[in-house]
Structure 1
C-alpha cells in the first residue's frame, strides 16, 4: 500500500439515526456531526503508522465529537488497535497529527494526555481490594484522602458495586472485574476513555447486558468514549457512530443504522451482519430507481436507491436475510424482486428460523423469518419449493 492514498472515510447520507434516551428518560439529540458549527473534540488528520514496510494505519482522517460513543470496528489486523494506541500515546504516528480538545498530542506523553484506557485483560492488582484498585491512580496523583474517598465511592455507585468494596479480584465474577476496571478508568475523570475490546472475556449474555451498562455510564458522565472491537453487534449496540476499517484504512463512516442499511461496499455489507450478495447487470439507471438483472437470482431487481451507473455495467445486489418474505405460493409478478428455489436447510433459533434456499442457478441464499407463533407443524420444511420476495427499498446496489 502507498502513503499517497487519498484521505480515508467514505460516507453515506441516509436519514439521521433517532436520538438516544439520556438518564431519567429525557431524550437528547447526540448528533454534533450534523451541526456545521460543531468543532470536533478529537481530530485524526492523515495519520499513517508503519512498522518497517507494513502500513498498520494508512492515511486515516477522522473527526470525533465531544460526548460521542465512537466505535472502531474491523477484522483482526485492520489497524484499529494501533489507531487507539496512537490516541493513548503508546505509539507515535509515522505521519499525520492527532489533536484532542484542540491540543496537538505529538509532544504529549501518555501519562499527561487527557485520556484513560481500559484494556481487555482489565489488569487489576490481585492483592488489592476493589476500592484500592479503583483508588490506585488517584493515590499516584497524591490527591487528598477525602477527595479520593468521595470519588471512589461515586465510581463504585456508578458501576453498581456497592457492598463489594473489600473484595479482591479473585472473589469477583468476570462481569464484576470488568466493572472494577471501568470504575478505575473513569475515576480519574479523563476527557476521553479508550476501550480496547473491553467485553471480549465475558460470556454472550453477560456481554450483551454489560453493553447497555457501558452506554448508561457514558451517558451519565457525558464523556467521550472510543471503543475498539471486532464484534459488529457490540459496536452497533453501544456506538453513536462507527468507522469500519480494513487494511489500515477507514472504508466507511456513519451511524450504526446508516452502515447496516446502506453499506458502501461488499466488504462492509458482509462484515456487518448476514447478507446475500448477487452479481447483476444494470438494465435501467434512473435518478431514484434502478433496475438490474441477476442471472443468479433468476429475475430483475428493483432498487429505490440508485448509485451512478450505466446500462450494461456489472454491479452487486445486497439483500439482508430478514428483508425477505418467504412463501409457498408465487407472487403476482414473479419476474421482479422474486427468487424461486428449494429449501435446502433450516436452522431453528427459537425467536427466528434461518432458511437456506437453493436457487435454480445453484446459488444458496439465506432468509430469516420471525417465529411469531408456536410451531406445532412447520409450515415450510425441507425440500419445499418456495418463493422469496422483497421490497425495492430492501435492495442495495453496490459497485465494489
Structure 2
C-alpha cells in the first residue's frame, strides 16, 4: 500500500501514558444484566482518540455487549457511556457518531457494491453529487473501483469484507466498531487484511474498536488490548506488555503458548524471587521483585521460545534447569515445538526456530534432554 510508513506514528503514540490526556471513549462503572446473568460487571475503561483498541476474550465474556452499548444497540443497566465528553444515554444508534461493521457483513444481496456503499448516505439525505463523490472515494480507499457494478454474490469473501468496510466508513464516523470483522476470511487473507486495517486506520486518523477472540489478530492490529473474562477487564496494556508481562495466570494462559510451573516462594540470594517447584523438579531463580513472602504459593510462567533444549546437562543444573524426555515434536515449518515429559509427568514446551533445512533432527523422540532458561526469561505470577 502506497504512502508514508506508519512506524514512527505508532512508535510514538501512547496517550494513555499522558496524565493530561482526555479519554475519547469512556465507560464509567458500566453494568449490563440480562435477568440473573451479568454480561458486563461494573466495568470502567478509557479509550483515546486515534487509538486502535481491541477487546479480547472468550465467547460470553461481555466484549460484544460492551461494543453494542457504545453503538446504541443496547443500554447499560447502570453506569455511563461517554463519547468525546458526551453522555450517550438516550441517543439512538443512527444519531451516534459511530458505525458498526458486523461479522456477517450484512450486505444487501440485491444491491450492487456501489449501492451498498451509498445506502447510508441516501438515508441521511446527502445530495446525489456528494454521494457519488463519497462512494468513489470509498471504492478507491478499499481498491474496489472495478467491482462497483457487481453484486455481493459475485465477490470473494475478502471483497465482501472490503465492501462492508467501505460502507461503514462512508458516513465518516468518529469511531468505527469492528465485531469479529475478519472471522470469515481464510488465514492468509486474514493476515493480509489485518495490516491493511492498520494502514487504513492511520491514514484516516480515526478511532477503531475491534472485538475479537483471536489473540493473534488483537496482538497484530491493536495499540492496546483489554483482556476480558466474565464481564470484567482483567488487564489493559499494549500487546508487548500483555505477552511479556501478564498480570495473572488467566492472561498468561489466554495469550499464546506458555509453560506454567507451580511453586513456593523461598529466599533468594540475588534479591529477586526464587521458586521451589517441587512437582516439576526445578528451582527457578529470577531477578523479579515479587509481592510475596517465603512459603507463599506462586507460579512461574515462561514462553516456549524462551526455553532452550539440549542433550547436555548445563554447568549448574540446580537452577533454571529441568531434565525430561522428548514426548512429541510438532513441525510447523518455521519452528518446531518440542513437548518434553518431566519426571513428575508434567509437560513443558520449547520452541526452536528452524534456521536450516530439517533433514535430520539433532533432537528426536524419546531423547533425554535438559530444558534451561535465563533468570529474566519468564515471570512470577501470584494470582
- In the other structure, the counterpart of 1:154 is 137
- In the other structure, the counterpart of 2:74 is 91
Alignment of 1:214-225 (within 5 A): 214-225=197-208
Would the alpha carbon gap of residues 286 and 95 (structure 1) be closer, same or farther in structure 2, given more than 3 Å must change? farther
- In the other structure, the counterpart of 2:100 is 117
2:56 corresponds, among 73, 87, 91, to: 73
- In the other structure, the counterpart of 2:65 is 82
1:260 corresponds, among 239, 243, 247, to: 243
Alignment of 1:129-148 (within 5 A): 129-148=112-131
CA drift of 1:197 comes to 0.5
Would the alpha carbon gap of residues 345 and 127 (structure 1) be closer, same or farther in structure 2, given more than 3 Å must change? same
- In the other structure, the counterpart of 2:21 is 38
**Is 1:61 aligned to 2:41, yes or no?**
no
Please say if residues 285 and 311 of structure 1, whose CA atoms lie closer than 8 Å, have aligned partners that are also in contact: no
Comparing 383-392 and 294-303, the one that deviates more? 294-303
| Secondary structure of 1:25 counterpart | coil
Please say if residues 194 and 226 of structure 1, whose CA atoms lie closer than 8 Å, have aligned partners that are also in contact: yes
| Secondary structure of 1:308 counterpart | coil
- In the other structure, the counterpart of 2:210 is 227
Distance across 2 between alignment mates of 1:23 and 1:30: 19
**Is 1:213 aligned to 2:196, yes or no?**
yes
Please say if residues 302 and 395 of structure 1, whose CA atoms lie closer than 8 Å, have aligned partners that are also in contact: no
CA drift of 1:162 comes to 2.0
- In the other structure, the counterpart of 1:203 is 186
Alignment of 1:347-362 (within 5 A): 347-362=330-345
Q: Please provide the CA RMSD for this pair.
A: 1.3
What per-residue deviation string (whole Å, max 9, x for no partner) do you get for residues 84-134 of structure 1? 100111111011000000100012111111100000000001111111100
Distance across 2 between alignment mates of 1:235 and 1:23: 24
Distance across 1 between alignment mates of 2:376 and 2:132: 56
- In the other structure, the counterpart of 2:287 is 304
2:110 corresponds, among 122, 127, 144, to: 127
- In the other structure, the counterpart of 1:316 is 299
| Secondary structure of 1:310 counterpart | coil
- In the other structure, the counterpart of 2:166 is 183
Which segments of 5 or more consecutive residues in structure 2 lack a partner in the other structure? none
Distance across 2 between alignment mates of 1:360 and 1:52: 49
- In the other structure, the counterpart of 1:333 is 316
Please say if residues 270 and 287 of structure 2, whose CA atoms lie closer than 8 Å, have aligned partners that are also in contact: no
Distance across 2 between alignment mates of 1:79 and 1:364: 33
Distance across 1 between alignment mates of 2:225 and 2:352: 28
- In the other structure, the counterpart of 1:102 is 85
**Is 1:25 aligned to 2:8, yes or no?**
no
**Is 1:392 aligned to 2:368, yes or no?**
no
Distance across 2 between alignment mates of 1:251 and 1:280: 23
Distance across 1 between alignment mates of 2:118 and 2:55: 29
| Secondary structure of 1:332 counterpart | coil
Distance across 2 between alignment mates of 1:87 and 1:23: 32
| Secondary structure of 2:107 counterpart | coil
Distance across 1 between alignment mates of 2:298 and 2:290: 10
2:260 corresponds, among 277, 289, 295, to: 277
Distance across 1 between alignment mates of 2:270 and 2:363: 39
**Is 1:383 aligned to 2:366, yes or no?**
yes
- In the other structure, the counterpart of 1:10 is none
CA drift of 1:23 comes to 4.8
Would the alpha carbon gap of residues 152 and 295 (structure 1) be closer, same or farther in structure 2, given more than 3 Å must change? same
Q: TM-score, normalised by structure 2?
A: 0.97
What per-residue deviation string (whole Å, max 9, x for no partner) do you get for residues 36-93 of structure 1? 1110000100000000111100011000000000000000000001001001111110
Please say if residues 272 and 290 of structure 2, whose CA atoms lie closer than 8 Å, have aligned partners that are also in contact: no
Would the alpha carbon gap of residues 285 and 62 (structure 1) be closer, same or farther in structure 2, given more than 3 Å must change? farther
CA drift of 1:285 comes to 6.0
Please say if residues 23 and 219 of structure 1, whose CA atoms lie closer than 8 Å, have aligned partners that are also in contact: no
Distance across 2 between alignment mates of 1:349 and 1:191: 41
| Secondary structure of 1:393 counterpart | coil
